Chains A and B, each alone.
Chain A
């Protein structure tokens, strides 16, 4: 047990000291990158809950992130910056959207589920595009930030710590979910729906609950992203964003607690690095992703786990 904790503590220390470390080596800009990674990690983790543990290949997850972002963004632009109010609105909106989308989509399976969630995602995307009062397709600029215990979220390091705290809470909740009876029932439903149903689990309701919870967490990620960027646009809801989140989950590891975090970190760093060298970074990212899909089925968490055991 002891040497399981030691590396974890080391990682924690590094994460906590990261802004100072980056400043020390003169790479202060990358503190905001670290914040972005944390936000993506939250969103990817919420998708991993749906996709990995729930077995629901949702292709519209970015829509919930975007809805959360819009909820907070609109509230801030209307002058309401209270953290509790912003959070409540964000969660209410994205969870409600997830409830509606999930209640309908979960009646389908397989490809149809992928396509119907994609369709819902695009529906919400076009909805965001058409809100002329809040920027339409231009997006919405926000000057203020959510006021959270008097913290200055415009400061990259402060934001990073807030996002890190939310990420830690998300991961803790996911770990608790996986260990819980409910979590096991959901995983059982993923593996064999008929058997889970025969055992008496209300599979539809369980799946819906997971879908809604993941939608709410995705919304929180969106709210954080608004606070970091000071900007929200419909592009946040676009299906390519959903695809990116899926890629993060697969890259990191499906149905693995750390999968979303690893995937988000690796993908964002990869893209940033490539983008520093070439305009055509998407080209090379694409090849990396293709290689991961074709050859590394377990994702990075799987590969790391194997290395760990050795």
Chain B
């Protein structure tokens, strides 16, 4: 029925939007109070998701993982702010953009070094099933939890900013930093705290979105942004009609015995990117040459679009009954997993 589909998509949109809101809330505080462009804000989302998934794996409790991720990411954010970001406030926007771009590179690879390429994370058992909202419309309980959590945090943020003393200080700092400093506000400490809260919000979004977008450790076709790679994997699972791409397909075509023997100079230039992309996969066969930025073909494949597609398509493409049933199942395929 189109009506329920529309409703369901609206709920999906609300849920996704609320998570984006959690990310944006932290970012806007940073930009508002310190006039600082922080491109690396999204990395905190990734760090939060990874800490959460790791803790859940360690303790077996989703709640513990969530709380731990929020605290851990907040602490991490505050440490980051007081060491690397603070010198940038006085600099121009260009420096800020570049420094936080460098930070993205560091955090992406750093996460990979610590946690590996991806971690599994699934929704808590108790919330794995669907809930009947209306006759003919059942919606995953976990997604309802996300919507609820997002709304609750939004309300909490509003109260925090509009009604509390600290909120007043933040607003004072945002509208006139010098004046606030002159009035005796310790703007540095305040801002570290604000940054920590922003990082914590990122972690909430990261952990909550984890089960919807996460993937098991597995086939590494390439190394996209770790933040996005989960979605990339998921896409193949999502659409059974879409054949799984074989890694390094183009490379294989180019590989000849002499190349496999290690003489890279005989590889055609076209295989350059593929070679690197496949480097991790083919391991011993090939020495990985060259830097990613150097070669456009090897750049991380970003996934914002995929992320959207996953969030929507996951449900939209399945038959309605299986749509709900497939939720929370590893792999998340329509009743087929």
Contacts and interface: CB of A to CB of B under 8 A. Distances in A.
Interface of A: 28-29, 32-33, 36, 40, 51, 57, 59, 66, 69, 110-111, 114, 126, 129, 137, 139, 141-142, 154, 156, 225, 228-233, 235-236, 238-241, 243-244, 246-247, 250, 267-268, 270-272, 274-276, 279-283, 285-287, 289-290, 293-294, 297
A62 to B, nearest CB: 8
Contacts of A283: 105-106, 109-110, 113
B324 interface: no
B288 to A, nearest CB: 6
Nearest to A125: B302
B63 interface: no
Contact of B99 (A32, A240, A290): A290
Contacts of B106: 282-283, 286-287, 290
A48 B314 CA distance: 44
A126 B305 contact: yes
B287 interface: yes
Interface stretch (B68-76, B166-174, B291-299): B291-299
Given A137-B301, A250-B94, A282 B270 contact: no
Nearest to A232: B296
A126 B308 CA distance: 13
A279 B176 CA distance: 45
B290 A33 contact: yes
Contact of B97 (A142, A228, A246, A297): A246
Interface string B102-122: 111110111011000000000
30 contacts: A51-B94, A141-B250, A229-B296, A229-B297, A230-B268, A230-B269, A233-B273, A235-B296, A235-B301, A240-B101, A241-B296, A243-B101, A246-B101, A247-B102, A267-B294, A268-B291, A268-B294, A275-B276, A275-B289, A280-B113, A282-B292, A283-B110, A286-B105, A287-B106, A289-B98, A289-B105, A290-B102, A293-B98, A293-B102, A294-B88
Given A126-B305, A141-B250, A293-B98, A281 B291 contact: yes
Chain A residues touching B, majority SS: helix
A286 B103 contact: yes
Given A272-B294, A281-B291, A287-B102, A294 B109 contact: no
A293 B302 CA distance: 25
Given A114-B93, A267-B293, A286-B109, A231 B101 contact: no
Contacts, number: 165
B216 to A, nearest CB: 21
Q: What is the interface residue range for chain B against chain A?
A: 35 or more
Contacts of B93: 57, 110-111, 114
Interface of B: 37, 39, 84, 87-88, 93-95, 97-99, 101-106, 108-110, 112-113, 250, 264-265, 268-270, 272-273, 276, 280, 287-302, 305
B291 A270 contact: yes
Nearest to A66: B296
CB-CB nearest 10 A-B residue pairs: A271-B291, A286-B105, A286-B106, A283-B109, A230-B270, A289-B102, A236-B296, A235-B299, A244-B293, A290-B102
